[in-house]
Structure 1
Amino acid sequence: MEEGLKYVGAGLACFAMFGAALGVGNIFSSYLDAAMRNPSAAQGQFGNLIFGFAVTEALGIFGFLIAILLLFAV
């Protein structure tokens, strides 16, 4: 039973990667939408784009790390 619950926990932790994928898609779609509306301000917002991307991806990687720890930790 404990072995099966490890897989359930790892699967639930993988929802963080799903959320990160949705978040990155939302960040880039919002940036491109704003850049099409005001191209002169797009370069000024590029730093915010990269920061948002990095934070969102970090959360996905943390979720993956937790899933790996749940599967292979003793």
Structure 2
Amino acid sequence: MGAIGYGLGVIGAGIGIGLAAYGATSAIARQPEMQSRLFTVFILGSAFVEALALIGFVVTLIA
């Protein structure tokens, strides 16, 4: 049962990172001079999404 919950959590993380990458790519395409700032925000956002996925994995192992 826990594997199903973790699988759903990973799907959510994948969708989140995909949407963030799409947003960063289109923003960089519109304003190339903001690339360094947008990349930094994208990396931070991706790290938070991955952290949530790892927390879901740990909760799955504990429960």
Give the shorter-chain TM-score range.
0.7 to 0.9
Identity %: 29
Q: Given the two structures, how large is their TM-score scaled by the length of structure 2?
A: 0.85
Alignment of 1:7-18 (within 5 A): 8-18=1-11
Segments of 5+ residues of structure 2 without an aligned counterpart are none
Aligned pair 1:35/2:41, yes or no? Answer: no
Q: TM-score, normalised by structure 1?
A: 0.74
**Deviations, residues 4-56 of structure 1 (Å, cap 9, x unaligned):** xxxx2331233111111110111111100111111111112221111101000
RMSD of Structure 2 on Structure 1 (CA):
1.3
Residues in 2 aligned to 1:59 and 1:65: alpha-carbon distance in whole angstroms: 10
**Corresponding position of 1:48:** 41
Preserved CA contact (<8 Å) 1:35 1:41: yes
Aligned length: 63
The list of structure 1 runs, each at least 4 consecutive aligned residues, that deviate by more than 3 angstroms after superposition, is none
- Unaligned 5+ runs, structure 1: 1-7
